[in-house]
């Protein structure tokens, strides 16, 4: 597992948050496979001889597996967010939630355990992580 979580500083990221980021990534991939700009995809599948249907199934399986790793309360919120949003995890930069661009006064960089506790924006409901600008 790699590219999804690249924003951490030195602190370890909350494992649930990392799972959510992976899910976000996989869902975007799934969406790309499922419709919209298929022109390019079809070309690619011909070239690499990929069964698109099978690829999509594997994605769905992986998504389900990852969802199974979420705690009950996180999963509940995820299920509310996921159908209506592309992004379920958003950064907070300089105290502003990048899901809704409302400032979150409590999410300051100096706060302790910021990466350990999974938090969400009270305005838009997205899971948030603090992206430090240092």
Among 97, 107, 118, 130, interactor with Zn ion by CB under 5 A: 97
Q: Does 96 bind Zn ion (CB under 5 A)?
A: no
Are 119 and 107 in contact by the 8 Å Cβ rule? The answer is yes
Q: Does 100 bind Zn ion (CB under 5 A)?
A: yes
The piece of 30-38, 52-60, 64-72, 94-102 that touches Zn ion (CB under 5 A) is 94-102
Q: Does 52 bind Zn ion (CB under 5 A)?
A: no
**Tokens 């996989």 correspond to what residue?**
26
Cα-based angle 66, 3, 80 (whole degrees, multiple of 5) = 40
The piece of 50-58, 62-70, 81-89, 123-131 that touches Zn ion (CB under 5 A) is 123-131
- Choose between 20 and 97: whose C-beta lies nearer to Zn ion: 97
Supply the minimum distance, in Å, between the C-beta of residue 94 and Zn ion.
14
Q: What are phi and psi of 85, to 5 degrees?
A: -130, 145
Supply the minimum distance, in Å, between the C-beta of residue 128 and Zn ion.
7
Supply the minimum distance, in Å, between the C-beta of residue 70 and Zn ion.
20
**Tokens 């809704």 correspond to what residue?**
100
Radius of gyration of the chain (CA): 17
Q: How far apart (Å, rounded) are the C-alpha atoms in residues 134 and 121?
A: 22
């Amino acid at each position: 597992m790699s590219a999804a979580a690249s924003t951490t500083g030195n602190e370890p990221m909350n494992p649930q948050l990392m799972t959510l980021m992976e899910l976000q990534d996989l869902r975007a991939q799934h969406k790309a496979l499922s419709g919209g700009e298929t022109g390019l995809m079809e070309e690619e599948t011909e070239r690499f001889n990929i069964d698109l249907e099978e690829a999509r199934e594997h994605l769905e399986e992986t998504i389900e597996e990852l969802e199974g790793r979420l705690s009950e309360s996180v999963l509940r919120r995820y299920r509310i967010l996921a159908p209506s949003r592309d992004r379920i995890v958003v950064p907070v930069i300089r105290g502003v939630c990048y899901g809704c661009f409302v400032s979150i006064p409590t999410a300051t960089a100096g706060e302790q355990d910021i990466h350990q506790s999974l938090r969400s924006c009270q305005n838009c409901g997205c899971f948030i992580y603090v992206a430090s600008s240092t």
